Structure 1
Amino acid sequence: MPQLLPTPWFTIFIYAWMVLLAVIPLKILSYVYPNHNYLRGLQKPSEHSWFWPWS
């Protein structure tokens, strides 16, 4: 019964997890976000005060 021999299946399992843990972070880190948050910090907030007639 070859299913009871854990030696090849364990190494295949370990190699599969090693590949998944090596590839998935690279794919996630290479994703380019469409919004540019770094530009938000460069813009000065407007100093226009709102007119509140009820206050």
Structure 2
Amino acid sequence: MPQLNPRPWLAIYFFAWLMFLAFLPFKVSDHSFPEEYADAATYISQPENWLWPWL
């Protein structure tokens, strides 16, 4: 049975993990935040009043 021959599958396995580990850090770092957040002290939010129609 050819699927039990580890010679080609072992090379494919290692090559796939090598590609996975080579490109994964770049893919993850693309999702980091590119801009710094503004300080919380510079933005003061005004709370909105809730409307209770049943009262």
TM-score range, shorter chain: 0.5 to 0.7
| Number of aligned residues | 42
The alpha-carbon deviation at position 34 of structure 1 amounts to 5.2
Q: Tell me, which stretches of 5 or more residues in structure 2 are unaligned?
A: 42-55
The ranges of structure 1 where at least 4 consecutive aligned residues each deviate by more than 3 angstroms after the TM superposition are none
| 1:5 maps onto 2:5 in alignment | yes
Structure having the larger proportion of residues in helix = 1
Q: Please give the alpha-carbon distance, in whole angstroms, between the structure 2 residues aligned to 1:29 and 1:13.
A: 25
TM-score (norm 1): 0.56
Identity of aligned residues (%): 38
Q: Deviation digits for residues 15-39 of structure 1, max 9, x if unmatched?
A: 00000001110111233405515x6
Q: Please report how far the alpha carbon of residue 13 of structure 1 lies from its aligned counterpart in structure 2 after TM superposition.
A: 0.3
